[in-house]
């Protein structure tokens, strides 16, 4: 059976997103490889292919199954790929957060898609391929939506240790870059799934609320294999790497015991770190920790259900500085109820806490989130930033869209157009080998931030969400 897993090309030439590995597709390829089933992975985005080049490859391969994945902000790109693939593929299946959140509505939005993989697809992938090989007739396997057929829910195993590693050997590893990487040779990893917290804007439709984690030995085994393959920097994509302090300590101590020489970044919560832990993480190779700060206003933190206090944010960023670890703050501007004065307070706050990097964004009510149930009926604004992947960003705010857009530009310019951040980003681009991508991102930011480049009402289409800073 000829199976192709594909990430489509960039939306257009202005797309400035940095190419990071399509980990979801690589996990499915790993499942296929372990079962002895051949599979091809096409990462047209990382390879810089045009849409015409992508279509030529699909025409050459003519897959029995074409697998695509997508998040809601870039669903239009996946739909475009499905329409191209429809000419050459027997079956087109879409997975990822978007089809998991909206379900059969995908069939209405994109009739060229035949099937949907809902939730974590590693356990449903092989049964799906068997069903497709038999003509995809009748009831599909649990966890698979098929047009006109009843859907059976699949409950994933709690043992994520049994999932094979991503088939990175099928990816163009040399093409991946991350601007904040402190060394060349970049890869991504997932060591846990699920998140027990209840942030109102977070889509947990794929991995759910139950936290499931791999043990320290398994995590460091994969790190050691990556180092042996030439990887110098790893980005842990866990929703909350620091959730279980004892596990983080065990991972760090195992890295040190084996003498691994690899550096990394992770995502954490401000109430999940302290200076002693961060010092150990620094010794074990951690160079950057990203925190979902969201706001410097307690009222906004309550609306977003962050369950943290401003004082905890200040303490966590001070601990990062003391430990010698760089900090990244994710910030949401203009949430419902926020005034321009409160937005300006948050802009001062991120500088006061000494954040090394900040990613400013507007608030989107994604399908499958509590925020969508409350605000999804609102007529959305369109307020973007230079690293958003949305073609039209459905912003939820009480501020006039033009006013919030102005504040967004002020945020990015005010933080990054200063000598220290510019020098830091330049050093990052040099050490990570991502200087070409940095120039592209810098150009996108300049075009976006100048008012005469983006007249009122004209949507800007910058980058894919996976790239980020």
Which residues touch 47 (CB under 8 Å, ≥6 apart)?
A: 172, 175
* pLDDT on residue 423: 87
Higher pLDDT, 391 or 456: 391
DSSP letters of 64-87? SEEEEE--GGGHHHHHHHHHHHTT
**Mean of the pLDDT values across residues 178-202?**
93
* pLDDT on residue 426: 85
* pLDDT on residue 16: 65
**Mean of the pLDDT values across residues 332-357?**
96
Q: What is the CA radius of gyration of the chain?
A: 22
State the residue for tokens 């004209």: 458
| CATH classification (class only), 3-145 | alpha beta
Residue 242 has pLDDT above 90, yes or no: yes
Higher pLDDT, 12 or 339: 339
DSSP element (H, E) containing 299: helix 298-303
Which candidate, 329, 258, 338, places its Cα nearest to that of 288? Answer: 329
* Cβ 469 vs Cβ 392: under 8 Å: no
**Mean of the pLDDT values across residues 151-170?**
93
Residue 461 has pLDDT above 50, yes or no: no
Residue 56 has pLDDT above 50, yes or no: yes
Q: Are strands 40-43 and 91-95 parallel, antiparallel or unpaired?
A: unpaired
DSSP element (H, E) containing 69: strand 65-69
State the residue for tokens 């706050």: 349
CA pair distance 228, 209, nearest whole angstrom: 34
DSSP element (H, E) containing 441: helix 435-449
Would you give the DSSP letter of residue 379? P
Residue 38 has pLDDT above 50, yes or no: yes
Q: Are strands 65-69 and 3-7 parallel, antiparallel or unpaired?
A: parallel
Residue 169 has pLDDT above 90, yes or no: yes
Higher pLDDT, 148 or 251: 251
* pLDDT on residue 465: 32
Query: Of 67-71, 77-81, 420-424, which range is least confident?
Result: 420-424
CA pair distance 186, 361, nearest whole angstrom: 25
Query: Of 33-37, 264-268, 317-321, 433-437, which range is least confident?
Result: 433-437
Residue 458 has pLDDT above 60, yes or no: no
Q: How many CB atoms lie within 10 A of CB 358?
A: 23
CA pair distance 56, 53, nearest whole angstrom: 5
204, burial (CB in 10 Å: exposed 0-12, middle 13-18, buried 19+): buried
Residue 467 has pLDDT above 70, yes or no: no
Intervals of CATH 3.40.50.280 along the chain: 3-145
> Angle between the 419-432 and 401-416 helix axes, to the nearest 10 degrees?
70
* pLDDT on residue 71: 93
* pLDDT on residue 251: 98
pLDDT band at 336 (very low <50, low <70, confident <90, very high): very high
* pLDDT on residue 466: 35
Tens of pLDDT along 124-135? Answer: 999 999 999 999
pTM to 2 decimals? Answer: 0.92
* pLDDT on residue 157: 85
| CATH classification (class only), 177-453 | alpha beta
Intervals of CATH 3.20.20.70 along the chain: 177-453
CA pair distance 408, 403, nearest whole angstrom: 9
- Evaluate the CA torsion angle 109, 145, 464, 29 in order and state its sign: negative
pLDDT band at 25 (very low <50, low <70, confident <90, very high): very high
Residue 422 has pLDDT above 70, yes or no: yes
pLDDT band at 430 (very low <50, low <70, confident <90, very high): confident
92, burial (CB in 10 Å: exposed 0-12, middle 13-18, buried 19+): buried
Q: How many CB atoms lie within 10 A of CB 80?
A: 17
CA pair distance 151, 410, nearest whole angstrom: 47
Which residues touch 394 (CB under 8 Å, ≥6 apart)?
A: 364, 365, 380, 381, 382
State the residue for tokens 């059969």: 104
Which candidate, 166, 172, 114, places its Cα nearest to that of 140? Answer: 114
């Amino acid at each position: 059976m000829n199976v192709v897993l594909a990430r489509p090309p960039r939306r257009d030439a202005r797309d400035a997103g940095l190419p990071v590995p399509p980990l979801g597709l690589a996990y499915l390829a790993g499942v296929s490889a372990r079962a002895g089933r051949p599979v091809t992975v096409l990462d047209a985005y990382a390879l810089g292919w045009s849409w015409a080049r992508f279509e030529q490859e699909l025409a050459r391969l003519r897959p029995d199954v074409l697998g695509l994945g997508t998040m809601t902000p870039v669903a239009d790109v996946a739909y475009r790929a499905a329409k191209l693939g429809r000419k050459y593929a027997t079956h087109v299946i879409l997975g990822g957060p978007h089809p998991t959140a909206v379900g059969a509505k995908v069939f209405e939005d994109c009739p060229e898609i035949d099937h949907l993989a809902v939730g974590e697809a590693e356990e449903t992938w092989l049964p799906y391929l068997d069903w497709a090989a038999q003509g995809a007739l009748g009831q599909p396997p649990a966890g698979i939506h098929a047009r006109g057929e009843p859907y059976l829910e699949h409950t994933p195993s709690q043992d994520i240790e049994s999932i094979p590693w991503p088939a990175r050997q099928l990816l163009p590893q040399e093409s991946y870059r991350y601007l904040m990487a402190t060394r060349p040779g970049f890869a991504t990893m997932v060591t846990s799934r699920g998140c027990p917290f209840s942030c109102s804007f977070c889509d947990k439709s794929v991995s759910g609320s139950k936290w499931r984690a791999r043990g320290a030995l398994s995590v460091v085994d994969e790190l050691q294999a990556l180092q042996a393959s030439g990887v110098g920097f790893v980005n842990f994509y866990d929703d909350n790497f620091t959730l279980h302090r004892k596990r983080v300590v065990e991972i760090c101590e195992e890295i040190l015991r084996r003498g691994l020489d690899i550096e990394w970044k992770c995502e954490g919560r401000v109430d999940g770190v302290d200076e002693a832990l961060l010092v150990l993480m620094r010794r074990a190779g951690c160079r950057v920790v990203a925190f979902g700060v969201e706001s410097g206003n307690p009222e906004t933190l309550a609306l977003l259900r962050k369950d943290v206090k401003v004082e905890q944010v200040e303490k966590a960023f001070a601990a990062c500085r003391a430990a010698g670890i760089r900090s990244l703050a994710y910030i949401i501007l203009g949430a419902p109820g926020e005034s321009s004065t409160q937005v300006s307070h948050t802009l001062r706050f991120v500088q006061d806490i000494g954040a090394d990097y900040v990613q400013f964004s507007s608030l989107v009510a994604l399908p499958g989130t509590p925020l969508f149930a409350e605000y999804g009926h609102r007529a959305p604004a369109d307020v973007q930033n230079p690293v958003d992947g949305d073609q039209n960003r459905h912003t939820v705010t009480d501020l006039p869209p033009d006013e919030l857009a102005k504040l967004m530009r002020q945020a990015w310019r005010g933080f990054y157009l200063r000598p220290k951040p510019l020098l830091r980003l330049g050093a990052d681009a040099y050490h990570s080998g991502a200087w070409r991508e940095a120039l592209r991102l810098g150009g996108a930011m300049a075009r976006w931030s100048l008012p005469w480049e983006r007249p009122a009402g004209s949507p800007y289409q910058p980058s894919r969400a996976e790239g980020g800073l």
